[in-house]
Structure 1
Amino acid sequence: MSSTSVTSSAAGRVLVIGIDGTRLDVLRASATPALDTIAEAGFLAPVLIDDATPTWSGPCWATIATGVPATRHGIYGNDFTGHRLADHPDFLTVAAAAGLRSYLSVGSWAPLATTADGGPLFAAPSRLTYSTFGHDCERGDAAAVADAVRVLADEDVHVAFVYLGDPDETAHELGVDADYVAAVERADTRVDLLLAALRSRPMYEAERWTVIAVTDHGHVDEGGHGGDSDVERTAWIAAAGPGIAAGAEVGGLRHVDVAAQVYSVLGLEAQAAALGVEGRVFGAVAAV
């Protein structure tokens, strides 16, 4: 991995919000004004998980973070043991090695941020907040967002990843029902807090922020995933920022495209190429 520094003033900044286990059809039917704002300023589009990737959080988030598929990063379940992340690092670690300030905030799922279960997925961000709430994802999300709001409002951050697990855990416990819809709407409220923190930055307009919200997989009606049904294999990305046209018709999106977009915004295309990132920037997948 290259440690070549970049000139941050020539690039933009990125916030990636990972919302675990959020079905696209439920999202579209729920009251989610913050995510609607992102979609209206850019797009909301489905992602079809490739056939070689199990519909588990581990492999899907690893693909999002590294820009390479499971066949390369080596994560096929929620235990990351045996991964190949040293060869295919996450975008926060790559950004930090390039001299940019990267930030991770996680409130619940340990292997994203710690050595639990073969982790961490995000190996070396410049700044890390992990709150040990285990499977209490609602409390974990609240803690993660509270810290992220402080950091995003006041600190010199170029790229951040904030993880929200409440919708996924709710579906596992209760199925895809009214409680699940409420969890999706709680997640949207937290997205709104993060967006407000960005907008409060004194140099917000000049910093040229891109915001990407993404889910890893869906759920069957009774709750659960890991299979091959359409609702499990359909994920989604919502994004807005410089170079993303409002109302863009975007098709053929893949999870690997998130990392490619992050590297493009940050001016780290050379690092992405050296690592063999397979994704394309969002403009390159817009339907014509």
Structure 2
Amino acid sequence: MTSPSRVLVIGIDGVRLDVLQATATPHLDAIAADGFLAPVRIDDATPTWSGPCWATVATGVSVARHGITHNVFTGHRLAEHPDFLTLASLAGKRTYLSVGSWEPLATGACGGPLFAAPDRLTFTSYGIDCERGDEAATADAERELAAADYDVAFVYLGDVDETGHELGVGAEYTAAVERADARVGRLLAALRSRPGFAEEAWTVIAVTDHGHVDEGGHGGESDVERTAWIAACGPGIAAGAEMGVLRHVDVAAHVFEAVGLAGEMAELPLEGKAFAAVVTEG
């Protein structure tokens, strides 16, 4: 059953916070201006790989619970700790996932899928051609978000991360961040084009999983690898709020709060808090 309260989560893989802050990203800047942009420190027990970081975002629990420690999900405990799309769907909400590149998010590859049972899944794999994959994922999401009724949606963009691996953190990496921001703008425009947008209460969350070293790559212990970020705006998120310490587990908690499911999820071992509970007091 749909409701006026809805959430779009945009996962942008491998965007270093310092590069983001130094790059022209008007659409992510708009999200931050209407709410916040805050760093996330990946905890020491979590390897700085996409698998464990996205699993923590999706499930709202840490590595010790979901069991994913690398990009191969062998030994995971996702059945005990499902993703927020699956849980929202089971609670009667309509959910949507759009992925164009990294298969374990949406398929059985490498021990996946991380997102087990969204109501609608669009997956088009272009292998390591994440630019084409992101274009496919964004184009489908534009159509779906503009015309269909979803309560919770997740769109994944992988081009920045792949560019970092192939070319390091330089001009090409910055250009990939700019391309990702342009796609964020298209998704926001799709929401605004909805006939009922004025009556709908949309929360938008953009989040990255990890950073990159200068020469490209991640998986280590450096500050640039261990620093992620969250930008968000929407009902209950005050513009310009000074945030306390945010964690990846807070994303799922806020999704449930935003669509009125926090009470139903209260018995689950979720480890995060809705963003309003992380605002710095005083």
Asked if TM exceeds 0.5, the reply is yes
Q: Indicate conservation of the 8 Å contact 2:60/2:250, yes or no.
A: yes
Q: Indicate conservation of the 8 Å contact 1:8/1:266, yes or no.
A: no
1:205 and 1:18 mapped to 2: Cα distance?
A: 25
Of the three residues 261, 265, 270, the one matched with 2:263 is 270
Of the three residues 34, 43, 68, the one matched with 1:41 is 34
- Are positions 1:72 and 2:65 aligned together? yes
How far did 1:270 drift? 2.7
1:205 and 1:89 mapped to 2: Cα distance?
A: 32
**What SS is found at the alignment partner of 2:266?**
helix
Structure 2 residue identity aligned to 1:76? T
**What SS is found at the alignment partner of 1:16?**
strand
How far did 1:205 drift? 2.2
1:162 and 1:29 mapped to 2: Cα distance?
A: 24
- Are positions 1:120 and 2:113 aligned together? yes
1:97 and 1:230 mapped to 2: Cα distance?
A: 38
Instruction: Give the structure 1 partner of residue 142 of structure 2.
Output: 149
2:276 and 2:250 mapped to 1: Cα distance?
A: 10
> What TM-score does the superposition give when structure 1 sets the normalisation length?
0.96
For 1:229-244, list aligned pairs within 5 A.
Answer: 229-244=222-237
2:39 and 2:266 mapped to 1: Cα distance?
A: 25
1:279 and 1:271 mapped to 2: Cα distance?
A: 15
Q: Indicate conservation of the 8 Å contact 1:73/1:84, yes or no.
A: yes
> What TM-score does the superposition give when structure 2 sets the normalisation length?
0.98
Instruction: Give the structure 2 partner of residue 62 of structure 1.
Output: 55
Cα displacement string for residues 20-68 of structure 1 (whole angstroms, at most 9, x for unaligned residues): 0000000000010000000000000000000100000000000000000
**What SS is found at the alignment partner of 1:185?**
helix
Q: Indicate conservation of the 8 Å contact 1:257/1:280, yes or no.
A: yes
1:286 and 1:220 mapped to 2: Cα distance?
A: 30
Instruction: Give the structure 1 partner of residue 246 of structure 2.
Output: 253
RMSD of aligned Cα (Å): 0.8
**What SS is found at the alignment partner of 1:160?**
strand
For structure 2, the residue ranges without an aligned partner over 5 or more in a row are none
4+ runs deviating over 2 angstroms: none
Instruction: Give the structure 1 partner of residue 165 of structure 2.
Output: 172
Cα displacement string for residues 187-244 of structure 1 (whole angstroms, at most 9, x for unaligned residues): 0000000000001111112220000000000000000000010000000000000110
Instruction: Give the structure 2 partner of residue 131 of structure 1.
Output: 124
1:56 and 1:198 mapped to 2: Cα distance?
A: 31
1:118 and 1:205 mapped to 2: Cα distance?
A: 41
1:271 and 1:46 mapped to 2: Cα distance?
A: 29
- How many pairs are equivalent? 281
Cα displacement string for residues 169-191 of structure 1 (whole angstroms, at most 9, x for unaligned residues): 00000000000000000000000
Instruction: Give the structure 2 partner of residue 3 of structure 1.
Output: none
Structure 1 residue identity aligned to 2:8? L
Percent identity for Structure 1 against Structure 2? 73
**What SS is found at the alignment partner of 1:269?**
coil
1:273 and 1:77 mapped to 2: Cα distance?
A: 28
Q: Indicate conservation of the 8 Å contact 2:2/2:149, yes or no.
A: no
Q: Indicate conservation of the 8 Å contact 1:248/1:286, yes or no.
A: yes
**What SS is found at the alignment partner of 1:27?**
helix
Q: Indicate conservation of the 8 Å contact 2:51/2:71, yes or no.
A: yes
1:12 and 1:84 mapped to 2: Cα distance?
A: 30
How far did 1:8 drift? 4.2
How far did 1:273 drift? 1.7
For 1:184-199, list aligned pairs within 5 A.
Answer: 184-199=177-192
How far did 1:272 drift? 2.4
Of the three residues 50, 56, 62, the one matched with 2:43 is 50
